[in-house]
Amino acid sequence: MSGDIHTPSENELIEVAYAATLDPTRLKDFERFWEAYIDAQLQVNPHGLNLDNTPVNAHIKIALDILGRLKVVQEQENIARQMVNSHYGFGLIVESNGRIVVANDTAELYTKKHTRFQDLPLDEESHRNIRSWMKEKPRKKADQFKMFDVHLNGQIGKRWLLSPIKIYNDAKGKRKRYFLITSVDTEIDLKLDPHIANFFSLTLAEAAVAVHLCTGMKPKEIARKRGVKITAVRTQIVEIKVKTGARDIPDIVRVITTVAIRSKAVKSQLNRMEALLHKDTNTYAHARESSFVLRDDRCLQYFEQGNPDGTPILQIHSLTSGIQFHTSHGRKLGSEFRLISPARPGYGKSDPHTINSLNGRIDSCVDDLRQLLDHLGVKKVYLLTGWSGAIAQRFALKYPSRCYGLVLSGAVPVWQVSYLSVLQPRYRNMVKTSIHAPKAVPYLVRVAKALIDSGRAHLFISDLDAAGSNDKKALENKEVYDCVVRRFKFLVEQGVDAFVDDLPFVHTDWTHDARRLKLPVTILMGSENNDQPREAIDRYRAAVPQAKLKMIEGAGSYQNLTHFEDVVIAIGSMPKR
């Protein structure tokens, strides 16, 4: 490290880093400064960086503490998400500054993915009234709830109920206030809920009278509206009281409206669940989540897609990929294959391991995979992976009798320093930092995690690929984009330590394991996939003479998502041993 560490460039780097810590949307700016800083230091000392006792290292320690405290805020927002998702109808949670924290699927139809309350298509008066109430100082208990009549998207007026749900200090020491906004249905129509009338054994005439009572009409008004004598209405009211167990007219209203509201709530919840399940005629297409406990008491999460009786494919995810596909991708498995996708230690909901050495982590993952196959009663599988080829190869070497073949889709487990130059900027930055300044990797990853956790994964994804690239175009496909979003949320679901631990897998050469492989190997590479140079593939094929290369025309880095059918075909064309 150069002795002249107090340079303007380093001071500027620290300023940008603090900005990224407090505002994760500044991550791209910091990454640019950070990589330039590493390159400059390597020119002075090509053997590597020593960050100890430098202002940069001091900042990283402070920033990690700040990001650690942000975790408390994120956990509270997760609680908010659970709260709003459990609401049966329209529901969203808004910060007092207008940021929409979370909206359930019903509310998303109205919000159109807007992230600010002021961007919603409410009429001006509704906006003004609600924002004014939200800005008020903490109010008395008697005024904890407030109803507003609003007009949304030019539709008939809706009634919203607002309630403060949390007041706490965030990582910056500022007070935050959240508000739960839900819709209130003031219309009760028994014609929409005939089973209620059937439950109380009400006749059609009695049901109609009950509806009118619930809308506030008096017996005389009901008689006039229905064109009958008042005595007939009174007789019907007596019958309604007997059948519902009500004491008087107000009690009839209480009983009927309570049951009707509860009924509508259940119906709405069922409809919401139907939407969440994305019902499909091909049940094999959906990802089925499960988990089981390993011998050392760690939990291992896994997903399955395809036919439970099909030929098993064990998908070993890498540090940049998720573990499940969209239903349209899942359909391509058909009835022939069963895709088993475990979340490796520390990813998703799988418990982390406590092994430090690189080879020890690989061997532990291999043992976890074997236990999973034993648990599922699976004797033999095709191995499918990308950047986790080191794990797949080790599994094949340790348990050759349990493998039909290995498919490396998008990457081969070899490494040369020159490969850094072809990586995408954000990924190159991570790998370069892992090689030359590993103590800084947790900071880089945690800022990225804070950006994704903040509900702005789209900003993170938008900076992954060069403008006009094949990958950028691939993300215009909603199914692909949704899978990529889900992929990154999966990567940060538990934490960042597993991702940090995985980076050395990429910049380590694993051809010593590759040379010992005996099983069939297929390399799938998109013609537009530039994650590795052609020299890397040639190097791997020299180590594994039986490896066959199949190019996927038009596919880029997201080839497993955009051209999953080609992946399935490649697996199906491999010989079964």
pLDDT digit string, tens, across residues 522-567: 999 999 998 899 999 999 999 999 999 999 999 998 999 999 999 9
Q: Which of 212-216, 297-301, 407-411 bottoms out in mean pLDDT, i.e. has the lowest?
A: 212-216
Give whole-number Cα distances, 556 to 256, 352, 551, in Å. Answer: 60, 31, 11
Number of H helices, E strands in the chain: 23, 13
Q: Which of 117-131, 398-412, 556-570 bottoms out in mean pLDDT, i.e. has the lowest?
A: 117-131
Contacts of 549 (CB under 8 A, 6+ apart): 522, 523, 525, 537, 541
Q: Which of 37-51, 57-71, 259-273 bottoms out in mean pLDDT, i.e. has the lowest?
A: 259-273
| 8: pLDDT strictly greater than 60 | no
| 77: pLDDT strictly greater than 70 | no
286 — pLDDT class (breaks 50, 70, 90): confident
Token pair 């895709």 is found at 339
Contacts of 568 (CB under 8 A, 6+ apart): 332, 333, 334, 337
Give whole-number Cα distances, 471 to 28, 96, 330, 429, in Å. Answer: 18, 38, 21, 19
The amino acid at 113: K
| 306: pLDDT strictly greater than 70 | yes
- Please give the domain boundaries of the chain with CATH numbers for all domains: 8-72 (no CATH), 87-184 (3.30.450.20), 190-277 (1.10.10.10), 283-418+509-572 (3.40.50.1820)
**How many angstroms separate the CA atoms of 34 and 308, rounded?**
47
74 — pLDDT class (breaks 50, 70, 90): low
Contacts of 117 (CB under 8 A, 6+ apart): 94, 98, 99, 100, 130, 131
2 — pLDDT class (breaks 50, 70, 90): very low
**How many angstroms separate the CA atoms of 532 and 198, rounded?**
68
Rounded (10°) angle between helices 441-453 and 425-436:
150
Q: Closest by alpha carbon to 410, among 320, 480, 294?
A: 320
Rounded (10°) angle between helices 27-44 and 425-436:
40
3-state secondary structure of 335: coil
| 159: pLDDT strictly greater than 60 | yes
**How many angstroms separate the CA atoms of 185 and 193, rounded?**
14
* Count of all residues that appear for the chain in the document: 577
Question: Model's pTM, two decimal places?
Answer: 0.64
Q: Closest by alpha carbon to 209, among 186, 239, 187?
A: 239
Mean pLDDT, the chain, rounded, equals: 82
pLDDT at 534: 92
Give whole-number Cα distances, 404 to 318, 551, 577, in Å. Answer: 21, 21, 6
pLDDT at 470: 83
**How many angstroms separate the CA atoms of 557 and 532, rounded?**
10
| 37: pLDDT strictly greater than 90 | no
Higher-scoring residue by pLDDT: 23, 187: 23
| 1: pLDDT strictly greater than 60 | no
pLDDT at 546: 95
160 — pLDDT class (breaks 50, 70, 90): confident
Mean pLDDT score, 156-172? 66
**How many angstroms separate the CA atoms of 306 and 52, rounded?**
51
Residue 114 tokens read as 């807007």
**How many angstroms separate the CA atoms of 516 and 535, rounded?**
20
H-helix segments, 86-147: 105-111, 124-135
CA 308 to chain centre: 25
Q: Closest by alpha carbon to 577, among 409, 392, 383?
A: 383
